[in-house]
Structure 1
Amino acid sequence: MDFNRTGFLFIPSLLAITLHELILRRVEVDHLTLPGVLLSGVLFSVLTLTFGISITVQLYVSFWGTLSIWILLYRAIWHPLRHYPGPFGAKLSKLWSVKQVWTSKWHYHIVQQRLHHEYGDYVRTGPRELTIFDPTAIQAILGYSSVTSKGPFYDNMETSLHVTRDKTFHRQRRRIWDNGMKNSLSTFAPRVEEFTDQLLALLRSDNGKPVPLLLYCIYYSYDVMAKLAFDRPMGFMKGEQTEVASSILSTFTNSLDIMGLFYHIPWFLKATGTLSSFAGPMKEWRDWSVLQMKDRMSRGNKSDFVAHLIDNTPTDAAGMELLFGESRLIISAGTETTSSALTFAMMQLATHPKYMLAVRKEYRDNKQNYHCQRTIPMVDAVIHESMRLWSPVFLPAQRVTPPSGIHINGHFIPGNMIVQMPPFPRFRDPRNFVRPDEFLPERWTTSPELVLDRNAATPFSTGPYNCVGQGLAMMELRSVISRVVDEFDIVLPDGFVAKDYWNGVKDHLTAGPPPGQLVKFVPV
């Protein structure tokens, strides 16, 4: 190769280093993956026409090779997080986390516990990511006074209350949601009880035969949330679901493993999400939700939650897209989490029958005053303890530090770093709970000394981004648990091994109960 060609091929290397130093290390580019790939492809074609395929390949190898090596060196040696401990592979790439999810068979929550035990409270788990286990950091990272903002994972979804990264928009829209929920929950309570009636009728018709617990809980939660979102259930409880509804449910349940992997590489999730919007199951889901919302709006104004959203949303194109997105949010965010929480709670009662008897007695002693919107001490304790041990969501909420960085408990975290606090290790931390791996509902009632830090248990999250549907979820959980246990003993099959069941819980977008578990609901 002559000198001129050597100098010519040096230019891409110089451009690669310049690109990294001026842009890539300073600007969040996760959402630009697909445009970047397309631009690279166009540029490759232009260079091939200009210089030929041989020179173009050499240029690309020079550019991408240099950029890759420089990025890895920067992350390993010069990165602002270089002083924090963690696995070496995690410092270089989030593909390390993807590999851990895969090799652990979607038990990343166990990997997180191991990282905590090995490296301490502040662990570098990505090139610009810290996983924090220190309970004193909760308010600084997630609380109302936190100066952090949402991370790049939230760019992978459409505009809605939950996924927006715009703090001002969120604050304004959250006020609308809070007011709507406050005004609608009491009127929606009878609807919750109607669906519980349908669940009880389904269980009675089974005559004590083994039934798929998780599937029944999924049917229940999808019907409730579709009623809330569109004023029409999907029909699962009565066996009246359409093929489209069945397809949508299948899409959600079958995509959770994939989401558990891609959560760690949001740049890839953004690219594939953009492509999937043009065809396939996700397009079917979006199209169906648009039709359902338009149908809901055509049926006139009603005094329900969605009517409140409609009345407080502009009627322009952006407003309509917001409504469509939030209708999907209502269903997607409120179904998998509630169905998992229901399943876990009933499995805990089945494996701890003394608490099942206590719930039944409490319900029967106070039946005249029962209301699913009000606290029921023993039932609420079972719910809280079940969600402490097996939170419906294992994946931690991504937050980004402000440009100036933050100080937490003697640790300085530089600006624009991703920080996260996984719930599973925190909920099992002996600094927060006595006998943390045991199911002890009395820690929330008669034995408060078993709770060392009440603020550490946040299954609905905390701060400005806490779960807006917490009240509705508690209504569903109280209704189902109280009324099912009033009528039935939850009986596990012969040979059931509790340890094997709980070891089978997956860590994907939500916590995934083992899907094939059969239980009997035996009339009492």
Structure 2
Amino acid sequence: MPDVANLGLFLADWVGGMLRDHNLPVVGIRDIDEHLHRRRAWNRGLGPAALREYEHVLARRAQLLVRRLEEQEGEVNLGQWVNHFAYDFMSDMAFGGGSELLNEGDKNNVWAVLDKGMALATFFGHVPWLGVYVGHIPGAAWPLNSLHRHGEKCAAKRLARGSTTSDLFHYLNNEDLPDRPPPPARQLYDDGVLAVVAGSDTASSAMTSIFNCLLTHPEMYARLQEEVDRFYPAGEDAFNTKHHRDMHYLQAVINEALRLYPPIASASQRHLPRSAQGVTIGSIYIPPGTAIRLPPWSIHRDARNFTFPESFWPERWLIAPGHLALADAPLPSPLPEPSADNKGKAAFVHNEQAFLPFSVGPMNCPGKALAMQEMRMVVAALVQRFRMRLRDGWDAAFYEREIRDYFNATRPRVPVVLEKRW
């Protein structure tokens, strides 16, 4: 496993995906000092104190998701409903509202535009010079341009309306620091779009993958439901986060789905500055000016880092910190070859330095804590309220076979039959 700490020496390389090489959002800033300066507002807006302020916003949207699912009959595409929830919630977070996909449906094809935009951004990320040229051609990259225009409208409305809640925009606009001037409008537009797109797409991808993993492994779904029922029995408020810290199996399930299906499967592109010295990572020498990726999908599924690397096995995250003895842990089912003789327990490997769903270094994802809070609440609430199963005869291998990596992973359909538990 290469020393991923060296990734901090590399600069972000997101010029092509933004269709310009100047006035970049925080995710594309290539100077580390400038990036850290711009991240200060994000760190305040996504810190522990701010997250406590957002709990009621998250709970309100999660409650609406549960109510809307309760109204459905027969089979539902669970991923589509999770998409609606995630986009609505991040619109609340970034702009204080403005999206009601859960109530009104995706009338403007927001998710279709977003998916097409991500595919284009991924392509131009590999040929950044072409992305910059195309950015000067009106209409040539309409999905990306449409996302930016939408963000500008939402940010302009939020600026005109002023601060009504302590949303993320409250911090991005320095409204929590009245002695500090607000940033330029262009910066607010770009960071607002980044918050909604990055926050909704990655969280939705992760939650869809979590439920696909659980529903294709019913025995693990049953273990999680037992834990949820222990902490949130019928009638208990599952939208209260007070028990999350003690729900070890819930966290193990989330970590394991992120390991198998990281939302950013191939990682964001980085490059070593031309003015820097070359860097050796493991046995590989990286010359100055070289663009690289350290793909979490491949690193997470390397047997040198994790036992049973291709299997959904949440128990690994309980064994490593000592919550579960290796000898007492149920093995994955079906057991991968060549460990079918159960000798696989003797060679447990768990390298958490190789667990990179939120990247590493000074340019990692600032929204990790918010995403974890969101996943814990939604997964616990849905498992408490519903019995779920996949459509009869559904191919368990379909999800992995059809998933696509367009920077954010584009999820296949997950057809689920819901039954209210009480």
Structure 2: runs of 5 or more not aligned: 327-347
Q: Secondary structure at the match of 2:137?
A: helix
1:304 to 148, 167, 181: 167
Tell me by how many angstroms 1:311 deviates: 1.7
Q: Is residue 349–residue 490 contact of structure 1 (8 Å, CA) maintained in 2?
A: no
Count residues in correspondence. 380
The match for 1:252 among 114, 120, 123 is 114
Residue deviations 1:160-190, cap 9 Å, x none? 2111112221111112211221132111111
Q: CA deviation at 1:268?
A: 2.2
Query: Quick one: which amino acid aligns to residue 355 of structure 2?
Result: A
Judged with a 3 Å threshold, the aligned counterparts in structure 2 of structure 1 residues 287 and 155 are, in CA distance, closer, same or farther, namely closer
Give 1:360-379 correspondences, 5 Å limit.
360-367=225-232, 371-372=240-241, 374-375=244-245, 376-379=247-250
Match of residue 467 from structure 1:
365
Residue equivalent to 1:390:
261
Deviations 1:249-268 (A, max 9, x none): 33112333334433322222
Residue in structure 1 matched with residue 86 of structure 2 by the alignment: 221
Residue 504 of structure 1, aligned match among 386, 398, 402: 402
Query: Which one has a bigger Cα radius of gyration?
Result: 1
- Partner in structure 1 of residue 137 of structure 2: 275
Match of 2:97 among 225, 232, 242: 232
| Candidates 241, 266, 286, aligned match of 1:413 | 286
Contact 2:155–2:189 (CA under 8 A) maintained in structure 1:
yes
1:435 — aligned with what?
308
Amino acid in structure 2 at the alignment position of 1:253: D
**Superposition map of 1:301-340 within 5 A:** 301=163, 302-311=165-174, 319-340=184-205
4+ residue stretches of structure 1 with deviation over 6 A? none
- In structure 1, the partner of 2:68 is 202
CA offset at residue 396 of structure 1? 2.4
Distance 1:358 1:233, change over 3 A: farther
Question: In 2, are the aligned partners of 1:155 and 1:164 still within 8 Å (CA)?
Answer: no
1:191 partner amino acid: V
- Quick check: 2:17–2:120 contact (8 Å CA) kept in 1? no
Matches of 2:283 and 2:115, distance apart in 1: 42
Alpha-carbon displacement from aligned partner over 1:399-444 (angstroms, at most 9, x marks no partner): 2224321133354322221222111110000000011111010111
> What letter matches 2:114 in structure 1?
F
Conserved 8 A contact 2:25-2:191: yes
Superposition deviation, residue 288 in structure 1: 2.9
Instruction: Give CA deviations for 1:353-377 in whole Å, capped at 9, x if unaligned.
Output: 2222222222222236964484331
Amino acid in the other structure paired with 2:200: T
Aligned-pair Cα RMSD in Å: 2.5
Would you say the 8 A contact 1:153–1:398 is kept in 2? no
TM-score, length basis structure 2: 0.83
Aligned AA for 1:347? N
Rounded Cα–Cα distance in structure 2 between residues aligned with 1:488 and 1:369: 14
340, 350, 367: which one aligns with 2:215:
350
- Aligned to 1:440, the other structure's residue is in SS state coil
For the structure 1 residues 152 and 173, does the alpha-carbon distance in structure 2 shift closer, same or farther, using more than 3 Å as the test?
Answer: closer
Give 5+ residue unaligned stretches, structure 1.
1-134
Residues 117-150 of structure 1: per-residue CA shift (max 9 Å, x gap): xxxxxxxxxxxxxxxxxx2331112xxxx32222
- Distance in 1 separating the partners of 2:395 and 2:98: 36
Identity of aligned residues (%): 26
Shift of 1:447: 5.2
1:94-105 matched pairs, under 5 angstroms: none
User: Which residue does 2:339 correspond to in 1?
Assistant: none
Q: Which moved more, 1:148-157 or 1:448-457?
A: 148-157
**Partners in 2 of 1:454 and 1:279 — Cα distance?**
39
Shift of 1:458: 1.0
Q: Offset of 1:496 from its aligned partner? A: 1.0
- Structure 1 SS opposite 2:3: helix
Confirm or deny: 8 A CA contact 2:94 2:167 kept in the other structure. Answer: no
Cα deviation, 1:231-280, whole Å, max 9, x if unaligned, reads 01410111166x5xx24333112333334433322222222233257984
* Residues 149 and 399 in structure 1, CA contact (< 8 A), matched pair in contact too: yes
Q: Residues 168-187 of structure 1 correspond to what in structure 2 (within 5 A)?
A: 168-182=33-47, 183-187=49-53
**1:167 counterpart letter in structure 2:** I
- Greater RCO, 1 or 2 (C-alpha within 8 Å, sep 6+): 2
